[in-house]
Structure formats: C-alpha cells, structure tokens
Structure 1
Amino acid sequence: MKKLAFAGLLSLVMAVPAFCHPPKAIDLKLGDAGMLTVTITHQVKDPAKHYIDDVKVEVNGKKAVVQLFSVQTDKDTQTAVYLLHGLVKGDKIKVSADCNKGGELSKELLVP
C-alpha cells in the first residue's frame, strides 16, 4: 500500500512541471522619449488561470518598474508599455517575466 501511495505521489509531482513553463520569448522595443514596449510570448489555454504574473524592469541594475498581473492579455502574449525617464546611450535595460505556475525569462537591451 505504501508503494502504491508513493508511486501515486511521485507521478503527481512529475506531472506538475508539464503544466508549468517559462515565457517563450520577450520582445523589447524602445521608442521615443523612453517608451519601452514589452511583449512576452507565453502560450496558455486559459489566460485567467495561467498567466505572466509579474514583470520587472531594471535600468543599470536598479529596479525601475515592478508590475503585477492577475490575468494575461490573451492566450499568446502579455503586453505592457513603460515610460523610462532619463535614459542615455549605453544604459542597460533588463526585463524579467514570471509565470504564475513557475518559470522565468529575462532579456536585456542596450540603449542605442
């Protein structure tokens, strides 16, 4: 009986990661006056239950923005736009996105 319970528990633990996945990609577009458009590719069946739950933006290693989400924009992406003041050539922007079910992806962009 203990072996059966252990096998059931093990199969449940092994199945959970199959439903969790980090974002597939992050697209960063820096426009005029520091407007940063972030598009995160994260394909899900139900964006109300499985979604990007937070996005962090750092400039030169310092937190600039932390935004929390409770749903995803649509089944394929999470999109957000941020105004970053005072950017200069060579600044490093890092964006990190977390899935509420587990998994994170980051991408960096140098200000041209």
Structure 2
Amino acid sequence: MRTMRVRYPVLLALTFLLICGIAIAHSPSDMRLDYDHGLGTLLVSVTHQVDDSSTHYVREIVIQKNGVTVDTVTYASQPSRETFTYSYPVTLEPGDVARVTARCNIGGSITREYTRPAAQGQPATAIPTTPSMAPAPWVVHAALLLTAILLLLGVAILPTYGKGIAGWYRIHTALAMVGGILAIVAIAMVFGPIPSGIIRNAWDAHVALGLVVLVLLLCTLGAGIYRKWAGGYKGQVRTVHLWLGRVLAVLLLVNIALGLSAVGLLG
C-alpha cells in the first residue's frame, strides 16, 4: 500500500505534465510569404513538422488585406509532414499589406505579413511575428477532462485497494472534489464559441452527453456527501454512489470518443 501511495501521485503528475506539453508544442514553426505579380497569387509556405499529417495538421489559413479578412480556408489534413505551399488568388496593389495566420488543429498559430513594394524593383518586405503557442480551447478542454478522469480513477480505486493507506478516505474525498471541479470547468467550456473545422453532428452529441455527464457527476458527488447523514440507509446510499460512479466513468469515456470524433482525431 505504501508503494501505491507513492506511485499514484507521481503517475498523475507525469501525466499532467505530458498533457501540458502536448497542449503547447504544436504551433507551426515557420511561414514564408511571396507574391506572384503576374498571376496575382499569394504564395504561403508553412513549416509544420508532424508525425501524421492526417490527424495533426494546419487546419486554417486566414488571409487579411490591409487589415480586412479576404479569405479563410479550412483543411482536414496537410499535404506534407514538414513544409508545404498553398497559393491563394489575392490582388495586391503597390503598398498593400497581406497578413496571413496559419492555425494548427491541435493548438498554436503563426502569423506573417507581406508588403508589396511601391516601386518596381524595390524589394518586398516580410514582417515576421512570433508563433503563438497558445493551445486551442478544445485542447485545454480535453486536458482538463483527462486530468479529471485520472483523479476520479483514483477515487474509484481507493475504496477497493487503498483502505490500508492512512487517511485514505480524506484522499478519496479530496480527489473526488478536485476531479469534480476540473470536470465541471471542462464541461462548461463547451458553451463557449464553437471551434472551426469541427464535425457538427458529433460536436452536438458531445455537448448533449456532456450535460448528462455533468448531472450524473453532481449526483455522484452528492450521494457521496449525503452518505454521512444517511443513518440506517448508509449501505443503500453507498450502493447508489458506487453505481453512479461506474456509469459516470463509462459515459465519460464515450464522451471523450465523441469529442475526438468532433475534431477529426477519431475516425
């Protein structure tokens, strides 16, 4: 039991760090802009190194001309695992500024600016900007939910295998409260702006099931708290609490699958 007491927090910490690392490490690393005067075409070359270009890719290209968005293109994959070039019909007069942002489907973005020279023969200017490493909102949502599931897994394991640990019930309660709060925050995030490039039917099902999960989570936590004051019905309340927790775990896994399907990461 002493080994379990040490290993579980360490495993939880390592998993959380891994999730955080994934959430910030997916921004495109470079982007170059060029303009074909004859064809009136803006050339966008993006460097985004990935292992699988069908599940991890540049999802969206946003093109602005003199501060006004003129085109937004979404993709379901990228043509190369490293560097690739897209072309877009954009008319740039001398002095016009094109600003392009490339966003990864997992998180992060990069922005570059290109100014067409005002005089023939004058070199064009490309103004680099620092890549944004901020994760996409759905990545934060997924990270919070996965952390909550790991905590709730500890909640489920302790009554069966951890009763020999001193203060196991306090740990059980603390994990339940923290996991519940993280799950509630994660579920609340689905009421924000709908992510671009998602599969709408899967997203709607994910949100609907998320509401069911939220109600079930509150009932599970409530049953665990009420058990202290249940008197002669403690056994029955405990049984309800355990079964609610089991159903909750299954629905959480189903909802994770729906969420991954909605963002195109699961067939």
User: For this structure pair, what is the TM-score category when the shorter chain's length is used for normalisation?
Assistant: 0.7 to 0.9
Whichever of the two has the greater Rg, that structure is: 2
- In structure 2, what is the Cα distance between the partners aligned to 1:11 and 1:62? 44
Alignment match of 2:55 (pick from 26, 42, 49): 49
In structure 1, distance between residues paired with 2:70 and 2:47: 22
Aligned mates of 2:55, 2:21 — CA distance in 1: 15
- State the SS of the aligned residue for 1:12: helix
Say if 2:18 is the partner of 1:11: no
Distance 1:13 1:31 in 2: 47
Q: Which amino acid aligns with 1:45?
A: D
Q: How far does residue 80 in structure 1 lie from its aligned partner after superposition? A: 1.1
Aligned residues: CA RMSD: 2.0
- The answer as to 2:110 corresponding to 1:105 is yes
Q: Secondary structure at the match of 1:56?
A: strand
Superposed, which structure 2 residues align to 1:84-99 within 5 Å?
84-85=90-91, 87-99=92-104
Is structure 2 residue 42 aligned with structure 1 residue 59?
no
> SS at 2:16's partner residue?
helix
* Higher relative contact order, chain-length normalized (CA < 8 Å, sep 6+): 1
**In proportion to residue count, which structure has more helix?**
2
Structure 1 residues 3 and 95: alpha-carbon distance in aligned structure 2, compared to 1, 3 A threshold: farther
Deviation for aligned residue 1:27 = 1.0
Greater share of strand: 1
CA distance in 2, matches of 1:2, 1:53: 42
Q: How many residues align?
A: 111
Question: TM-score, normalization: structure 1?
Answer: 0.86
Task: Describe the SS at the equivalent of 1:70.
Answer: coil
Quote the Cα distance in structure 1 between the aligned partners of 2:69 and 2:18: 35
Q: Which runs of 5+ in 1 are unaligned?
A: none
Residue equivalent to 2:32: 27
Shift of residue 24, structure 1, vs aligned partner: 0.7
Q: Taking structure 1 as reference, are residues 11 and 60 closer, same or farther at Cα in structure 2, changes over 3 Å only?
A: same
Q: Which ranges in structure 2 are unaligned for 5 or more consecutive residues?
A: 118-267
CA pair 4-74 structure 1, distance change in 2 beyond 3 A: same
1:19-61 deviation per Cα after TM superposition (whole angstroms, max 9, x unaligned): 3321111111100242111110001010001100000000011
Q: CA, structure 1 residues 14+36, in 2 after alignment: closer, same or farther (shift >3 Å)?
A: same
Q: CA deviation at 1:91?
A: 0.9
Q: TM-score, normalised by structure 2?
A: 0.38
